[in-house]
Amino acid sequence: MKEFTLRESDRIIEMAWEDRTPFEAITFQFGISEAEVITLMRTELKESSFKLWRKRVNSGVSKKHLKKRSEEISRFKCSRQRTISHNKISKR
């Protein structure tokens, strides 16, 4: 399996936890397959957390595969997500 920095590993885990982020987006960004994501999650998470994640992904509620989605994805960033600019705090 490919070696990742701590930051990359954390981002992959974060993307895997998000229900709306498909495995295909992780593959596109990091070049790893679904099986490799599962292996990474198994090694990095506590056993109970891993089991909860797998149960949720396999339950059918999650749309982790593009084939299960009804809408087409044109980009991997949420349209409501703001741009983060270094350490500046946005004014409200």
Judge contact between 54 and 46, C-beta under 8 A: no
pLDDT at 50: 93
Amino acid of residue 38: I
Q: Which two tokens stand for residue 59?
A: 């339950």
pLDDT along the chain (92 residues), means of 10: 87 88 88 92 93 84 59 56 54 53
pLDDT at 51: 93
pLDDT at 24: 87
Q: What is the DSSP string of 12-55?
A: HHHHHH-TTS-HHHHHHHH---HHHHHHHHHHHS-HHHHHHHHH
pLDDT at 19: 79
